[in-house]
Structure 1
Amino acid sequence: MKILVDKLLESQSLDYTEAKALMSAIVNGDLNDVQTAAVLASYRIRMPSISELKGFRDVLVDMAVQVDLGNLKFIDLCGTGGDGKNTFNISTITSFVVAGAGIHVAKHGNYGVSSNTGSSNLLEYLGYKFDNSIGKLQAELEKVGICFMHAPLFHPALKRVGAVRKGLGLKTFFNILGPLVNPAKPSHQLVGVFNLEVARLYAYLLPNFLEDYRVVHSVDGYDEVTLTGVVKVFSKEAEFTLLPSNFGFEKVSPNILDGGENVECAAKIFYDVLKGTAHNDKINVVLANAALAISCFLKEDLAVSVERAKESLFSGKAIDKFNKLISLQK
Structure 2
Amino acid sequence: MTVAKKVHLKSILKHLILDPDGFTPEHAADGLHSIMRGEASDAQIGGFLTALRLRGMDKDPQMIASLATEVYKHALRPTLETSEKNREQFGMVVDIVGTGGDGWNTFNISTTSSLVAAAAGLQVAKHGSRASSSNCGSADLLESLGCDLGIISPSDVAELLSEHCFCFLFSSTFHPSMRYLAKTRRELGFPTPFNVLGPLTNPVVPDRAVIGVHSKSLGPVMAEALKILGRRNYAVVCGDENLDEISIAGNTHVWHIQEGGEVKNYTIHPNDFGVSTHPLSEAAGSTLEENKATLKRLISNKLEAKDEPIRDFVLINTGFLLYISGLAASMKEGADIARKTLESGKVQDLLEKFAKATQTLREQESEKNSLH
Q: What band does the TM-score fall into relative to the shorter chain?
A: over 0.9
**How many pairs were matched up?**
329
Could you say which residue in structure 1 is the equivalent of 2:69?
58
TM-score by length of 2: 0.83
- Structure 1's 231 and 95: CA in aligned 2 closer, same or farther, altered over 3 A? same
Indicate conservation of the 8 Å contact 2:108/2:138, yes or no: yes
Within 1, Cα distance between the matches of 2:312 and 2:94?
21
**Unaligned runs of at least 5 residues, structure 1:** none
1:263 corresponding residue in structure 2: 288
User: CA 1:43 to 1:218, structure 2 compared with 1: closer, same or farther past 3 Å?
Assistant: farther
From the superposition, tell whether residues 189 and 2 of structure 1 become closer, same or farther in structure 2 (CA, over 3 Å): same
Q: 1:37 to 1:6 in 2, by over 3 A?
A: same
Which amino acid counterpart does residue 289 of structure 2 have in structure 1? E
Aligned mate of 2:124, from 84, 87, 105: 105
Report the Cα offset of residue 38 of structure 1. Answer: 2.8
Measured after TM superposition, the shift of residue 210 of structure 1 is 2.9
C-alpha contact 1:112 1:118 (8 A) present in aligned 2: yes
2:41 maps to 1:32: yes
Asked which structure has the greater CA Rg, the reply is: 2
Q: Which residue of 1 aligns with 2:20?
A: 12
What are the residue-to-residue correspondences of 1:298-313 with 2, within 5 Å? 298=326, 300-313=329-342
Equivalent residue for 1:172?
192
Aligned-pair RMSD on alpha carbons? Answer: 2.0
Bigger relative CO (Cα 8 Å, ≥ 6 apart): 1
C-alpha distance in 2 between matches for 1:44 and 1:275: 45
**Structure 2 counterpart of 1:257, which letter?**
A
Paired AA for residue 164 in structure 2: V
Q: Which residue of 1 aligns with 2:113?
A: 94
Larger mean Cα displacement after TM superposition, 89-98 or 48-57: 48-57
Question: Partner residue of 2:79?
Answer: 68
Q: Percent identity?
A: 28
The aligned residue for residue 276 of structure 2 is 250
Distance, in Å, in 2 between the alignment partners of 1:85 and 1:38 is 30
Q: 1:300 to 1:118 in 2, by over 3 A?
A: same
- The aligned residue for residue 228 of structure 1 is 249
Checking the alignment, whether the CA contact within 8 Å between 2:52 and 2:193 is kept in structure 1 is yes
Aligned-partner Cα distance in 1 for 2:290–2:42: 34
Distance (whole Å) between structure 2 residues aligned to residue 38 and residue 125 of structure 1? 37
Over 3 Å counting, the alpha-carbon distance change for 1:173 and 1:317 in structure 2 is same
With structure 1 as the length reference, what TM-score do the two structures score? 0.93
For residues 266 and 34 of structure 1, what CA distance do their matches in structure 2 show? 38
The gaps in structure 2 that reach 5 residues or longer are: 1-8, 82-86, 259-263, 361-372
Residue 144 (structure 1) aligned to one of 161, 164, 177: 164
